[in-house]
């Protein structure tokens, strides 16, 4: 990412009430709910701030998570210990303000999330993402995420985070 943006933890100073990424559920979550989730430690939230304007250009959230081993696709699953669940981190929400479309910011947010997980001092074998619609599925798939073995479910699984 260029020095145009800084990615930092969500703080009170970040203005959220005009955030719009093109998905109403993501917009209202970021405007109205995310701070409560952060306060309760259900999620951490990172924002991309445009340095010149202080505008919030995008955000993502991370939460501890796990997934049943039976839902991990082959050949990933065969290499894993036979514990019932796989420790992971969930990218619950990710959005980029529509004013900054197509400038690589979505990719930068995703890679920052992966870097945050990969360098955190807590074991997390994989990174999962909740894909909100088919476009989001395509976005994650473009970066190597693969679907979980769960019919009609839009959650996706990435390669194990040590590969990043």
129: three-class secondary structure by DSSP: strand
Alpha-carbon dihedral sign for residues 7, 13, 19, 24: positive
Q: Does 123 bind ligand COA (CB under 6 A)?
A: no
Distance (Å) of CA 89 to CA 10, 17, 37, 66, 109: 18, 27, 15, 7, 15
Distance (Å, whole) CA 27 – CA 90 = 19
Interface pick for ligand COA out of 29, 59, 139, 145 (rule CB under 6 A): 139
C-beta of residue 38 within 8 angstroms of C-beta of residue 145: no
C-beta of residue 19 within 8 angstroms of C-beta of residue 48: no
Q: Does 21 bind ligand COA (CB under 6 A)?
A: yes
Q: Does 34 bind ligand COA (CB under 6 A)?
A: no
Interface pick for ligand COA out of 6, 135, 153, 163 (rule CB under 6 A): 135
Q: Does 144 bind ligand COA (CB under 6 A)?
A: no
Kindly indicate which of the ranges 29-37, 73-81, 113-121, 129-137 contains the residues binding ligand COA, using the contact rule CB under 6 A.
Answer: 129-137
Kindly indicate which of the ranges 5-13, 31-39, 42-50, 88-96 contains the residues binding ligand COA, using the contact rule CB under 6 A.
Answer: 88-96
Give the DSSP H or E segment for 126: strand 126-130
Residue 38 or 143: which CB sits closer to ligand COA?
143
Kindly indicate which of the ranges 32-40, 67-75, 95-103, 155-163 contains the residues binding ligand COA, using the contact rule CB under 6 A.
Answer: 95-103
Q: Does 22 bind ligand COA (CB under 6 A)?
A: yes
């Amino acid at each position: 990412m260029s020095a145009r943006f800084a990615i930092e933890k969500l703080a009170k100073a970040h203005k959220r009430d005009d955030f719009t990424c093109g998905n109403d559920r993501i917009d209202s979550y970021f405007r109205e709910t995310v701070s409560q989730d952060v306060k309760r430690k259900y999620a951490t939230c990172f924002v991309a701030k445009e340095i010149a304007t202080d505008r919030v250009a995008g955000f993502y959230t991370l939460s501890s998570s796990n997934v049943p081993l039976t839902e991990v696709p082959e050949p990933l699953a065969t290499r894993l210990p036979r514990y019932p669940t796989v420790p992971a981190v969930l990218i619950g929400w990710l959005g980029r303000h529509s004013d900054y479309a197509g400038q690589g910011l979505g990719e930068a947010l995703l890679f920052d999330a992966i870097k945050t997980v990969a360098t955190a001092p807590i074991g997390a074998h994989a990174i999962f993402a909740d894909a909100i619609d088919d476009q989001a599925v395509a976005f994650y798939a473009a970066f190597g995420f693969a679907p979980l073995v769960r019919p009609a479910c839009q959650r996706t699984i990435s390669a194990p985070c040590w590969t990043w």
